[in-house]
Structure 1
Amino acid sequence: RRLLARCGDGACLELIELQPEGRKRMSAEAFLNGYPLSENERFGVNP
């Protein structure tokens, strides 16, 4: 499984590691195990 982020210009970035606020750094795979996302789900979008 891979965690991809689409940028405003349409490019995609693969997230290898991330650090949720107040948590330790983790692999994208570990993140997806604990925070399942559906395909095309948006998260952390600012208005």
Structure 2
Amino acid sequence: MRGTGAPGPGAGEGRWAARRPVAAGEVEVVRGGRPVDPARARGPIRIRRTP
């Protein structure tokens, strides 16, 4: 359902699962193309490999 502001199914699990590779420096969490702290990011995020 669009426009409710509620996260989709599994959204919290994805963020939780990203913490370990982020801490290891393997990936980074970005929002709007800029790295963000996954614990503080709000809204949609992307996870990408670090260069």
Q: TM-score range by the shorter chain?
A: under 0.3
TM-score (norm 2): 0.22
Of structures 1 and 2, the one with the larger relative CO (CA 8 A, separation 6+) is 2
